């Protein structure tokens, strides 16, 4: 789990994203129980009602589900749903601004591809 929240965007949003990230990375697998409210509060030192708000949003989206008296669990299809949702915005949110910026900076398509390859290799070798 992300060790710290940076405090710039709304905290419930950061709580939600931190849990999504855990699911996408496979650190929280389908049918895993997510850490208790108390543990998350202690980890991030944030208000428990704010943590609950972020968790509730994920429950509303069907990413998490509640087992009465036990806690919150990762839905069986959660990774797939997240990939579809985040992937849907990938081109618009990430690729378009990147290409736009590269173009403005005069980095050609070849140059951009080379830089992406270099970063790709670097991150995979870490």
Partner 1 sequence: MIEFKNVTLAFKKQKALDNVSFTLKGGTICGVLGRNGAGKTSLFRLLAAYVRPTSGDARVFGENPYENQRITQKVALITDMGDEYNSFSVRDTLKLAAAFRPNWDEGYAQRLAKRFELPVKKAMSSLSHGQRASVRAVVGLASRCEVTIFDEAYLGMDAAFRKMFVSAILDDFTQNPRTILFSTHFIDEMSKLFNEVLILDKGKVAFQGDSDVLRQLRQNSSSATLQDLFIEITGGIDNEGIS
The residues that touch partner 1, with contacts defined as CB under 8 A, are: 5, 7-13, 37-38, 41-42, 44-50, 53
Residues in Cβ contact with 22 at an 8 Å cutoff, skipping those fewer than 6 apart: 1, 28
Q: 6 or 110: whose CB is closer to partner 1?
A: 6
Residue 28, classed as helix, strand or coil, is coil
Q: What's the chain's Rg over C-alpha atoms?
A: 18
Find the shortest distance in angstroms from Cβ 13 to partner 1. 8
Q: 53 or 81: whose CB is closer to partner 1?
A: 53
Q: 45 or 110: whose CB is closer to partner 1?
A: 45
Q: Which two tokens stand for residue 3?
A: 């060790």
Q: 37 or 61: whose CB is closer to partner 1?
A: 37
Instruction: Tell me how far apart the alpha carbons of residues 10 and 18 are, in angstroms, rounded to a whole number.
Output: 13
Find the shortest distance in angstroms from Cβ 115 to partner 1. 29
Find the shortest distance in angstroms from Cβ 9 to partner 1. 7
Find the shortest distance in angstroms from Cβ 27 to partner 1. 23
Could you write out the three-class secondary structure of 34-99?
CCCHHHHHHHHCCCHHHHHHHHHHHHHCCCEEEECCCEEEECCCHHHHHHHHHHHCHHHHHHHHHH
């Amino acid at each position: 789990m992300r060790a710290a929240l940076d405090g710039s965007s709304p905290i419930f949003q950061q709580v939600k994203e931190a849990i999504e990230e855990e699911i996408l990375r496979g650190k929280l697998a389908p049918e895993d129980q997510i850490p208790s409210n108390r543990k998350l509060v202690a980890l991030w030192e944030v208000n428990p009602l704010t943590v609950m708000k972020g968790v509730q949003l994920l429950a509303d989206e069907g990413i998490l589900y509640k087992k009465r008296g036990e806690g919150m669990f990762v839905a069986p299809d959660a990774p797939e749903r997240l990939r579809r949702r985040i992937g849907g915005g990938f081109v618009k949110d990430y690729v378009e601004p990147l290409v736009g910026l590269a173009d403005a900076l005069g980095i050609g398509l070849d140059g951009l591809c080379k830089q992406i390859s270099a970063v790709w290799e670097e991150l995979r070798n870490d």
